[in-house]
Structure 1
Amino acid sequence: MQLRTLAVAAVDVVAGLAIAHMAYVMALPEWYIFASDAAVYILCGVALLLVSGLAAWRDHRRRQRKNIDRVPLLPWRDIGALSLFGGLILCAFGAMGLLTG
């Protein structure tokens, strides 16, 4: 009898997780849920390009600092270069996907 109760409790937990996942998915906007893969690639590419812009701004501030001993924690030049490359690649793949259908 205890094994059956444990199995029912496990099924209830799994069902609860599935309902929580559905609530999370339904919280996303409808245009994003039904977006094509190409559109999602372009959105991710644009997000990476924004990160690259932030990194360029932070690197400019690093180069213009007055106290040379105040070294930043993050390598903004490398973050900017990698996010720019990744963003351009994702946008290119997304544009190819949108153009080819």
Structure 2
Amino acid sequence: MVTPALVADRAACRGAGQCAFNAPELFDQDEEEGLVVVLQPFPSAEQLTTARTAVDSCPNRAIALTSAAPPATGARPSSPRAGSRWRAPSRSGDRSPRSDRSPS
């Protein structure tokens, strides 16, 4: 059995945040550079549409949905969200990143 898997190319990521905006349960952005973090590499069947939307919305094509072997029991995301202070923007139009990030 083949399971869809989310993968990220952090070298291609420019921190646009569309992945975290469209699928906050699957993606986040790191605090240092705002680059993509995959929270759930193996989305559930119910999350596949959301995952595809996030993949399609990435302006740099830094994330993809691929085929992989099924996850081992108890598989965990490689970069857990614990401790992250970044919040996905609200759907009301606020697209600003964390308020504590200083301008460049």
* TM-score for the superposition, normalised by structure 1: 0.23
Rg (Cα) greater in structure: 1
Greater fraction of residues in strand: 2
* TM-score for the superposition, normalised by structure 2: 0.23
